[in-house]
Amino acid sequence: MAYNARGHQIVQSIHRNCHNNIILKKLTNNGLTEMSEKHPIIAITGSSGAGTSLAKSAFMYIFRKNGIKPAIIEGDCFHRYNRVEMDELSIEAEKNGENLTHFGPEGNLFEDLENVFREYGANGTGRRRFYIHDEKEASEHGSAPGTLTEWESLEENTDLLFYEGLHGGLVTKEINIAKHVDLLIGVTPIINLEWMQKIHRDQAVRGYTTEDATKLILSRMHDYVHYITPQFSLTDINFQRVPTIDTSNPFATHYIPTNDESFSVLHIRNLEKIKVNFRYLLEMLEGSIMSSPDTIVVPAGKKVFAMQLILTPVIQKLLDKKNSN
């Protein structure tokens, strides 16, 4: 597919910017990073129901195709409490006019997560456990739904660490997880769509009413704003799903827009790290357009393919650096 004049102008603008060394830099609370070329870390960050699992599948394909052995950590394993404990403590917190959520520090082991990233970056070692969501996972791990398994050591001799969860790019006054990550990917829909997906999932999986699911969203809002949203300003690339149908009132609809009714906005925030041939992407991703010098918009059904095209060479570069040390 040929790209239009606007796309040509944007591509030329990118080349000029790169030539003039205008690059985006990742910011952290101290401006420093502690990445490890010997033991690279890749993290997908985004709230539950945002599409991080779909993004994970794209990475699993890349790993299989290229013979890459990852150590895999699911962010839920760093929840502080199991499901029963969390429900009981949340009720108690509500009675005291407080909120306890899986987004904030009270409900998670942030220090432990940073320590694992630090340890893996230094030595290629670490630990993990599993949060059991459903009966399928229960049969796989021999633990009841809603429980946390015992801690176990990560596999030895892995090529990289792959994290998928809520806090892969978290920075607070006390901790800095983002500085340990070599490639940070943000995945999020626009907020109305995120709420719609959250309500739909809670109704289908947990049997919540719309009122119950809405109440849960509201109770989490403070922690969402302070601990989830800021991460998307620290990522190397963001994938944001945008519907093309009316989602003005996410609390009054039971219909989730399909891929055919959505676009994915791919914002490459770090053009130094992720060197993209936008002309090639426009040709490969039919129906895509460029909306700014660092942003390409693709049909939502092509998001996984876009991830593979963009991120495969980045991952290979990380491994080339690892193997050269």
What confidence tens digit (pLDDT) does each residue in 294-322 have? 999 999 999 999 999 999 999 999 999 99
What confidence tens digit (pLDDT) does each residue in 258-280 have? 999 999 999 999 999 999 999 99
pLDDT band at 33 (very low <50, low <70, confident <90, very high): low
Q: How far is CA 321 from CA 143, 182, 279, 293, 315, in A?
A: 39, 12, 27, 28, 10
What confidence tens digit (pLDDT) does each residue in 90-149 have? 999 999 989 899 999 999 999 999 999 999 999 999 999 999 998 999 999 999 999 999
Q: CA 62, 103, 148, 124: dihedral to nearest 10 degrees?
A: 40
Please give the single-letter amino acid code of residue 105. P
Domains in the chain, CATH or no CATH each: 5-319 (3.40.50.300)
What confidence tens digit (pLDDT) does each residue in 51-75 have? 778 889 999 999 999 999 999 999 9
pLDDT band at 231 (very low <50, low <70, confident <90, very high): very high
Q: Which residue is listed with tokens 């239009």?
A: 4
Contact 106, 85 (CB under 8 A): no
Q: Which of 25-39, 168-182, 208-222 has the lowest mean pLDDT?
A: 25-39
Nearest residue to 51 via CA among 198, 212, 160: 198
